Structure 1
């Protein structure tokens, strides 16, 4: 099963189906270009994936598929005055 280590030390796997830490998304423009009956497999192929680390809540977004490294997005903590 493919996996990698989050910067917090948690191991993130992206081979499970269904995957409880994987989210799929599509741009509004790409979605709007779809019309008529939709084949779920072709829609799935147009989507990008991100993994949410269950420990630190970082998002690891695979903008270019699973063959390329994901980009890391980190929550910004609010500073208390």
Structure 2
């Protein structure tokens, strides 16, 4: 099962389907390029994703797919 370690020490497990800590998104500009009938798989490929640590609520964004390290975002207090 794919996993990674959050900075808080919690292990993020993201191998389940559906994955309860995974969120997918697409920019408004990219979404506006979608026309007519939508192929859900093609739309999914265009999406970026992030994971939410259930312990500390940090967000881990994979801006460039899984080949590059994610960018960590820490919630403000």
TM-score tier after normalising by the smaller chain length: over 0.9
TM-score, length-scaled by structure 1? 0.92
The ranges of structure 1 where at least 4 consecutive aligned residues each deviate by more than 2 angstroms after the TM superposition are none
Q: How does 1:1-81 map to 2 (within 5 A)?
A: 1-77=1-77
In the comparison of the two structures, how many residue pairs are matched? 77
Query: Which one has a bigger Cα radius of gyration?
Result: 1
- Partner Cα distance (1:68, 1:13) in 2: 18
Structure 2 length-normalised TM: 0.97
Which stretches in structure 1 are left out of the alignment for 5+ residues?
Answer: none
Shift, 1:36, TM fit: 0.3
CA RMSD of aligned residues (A): 0.6
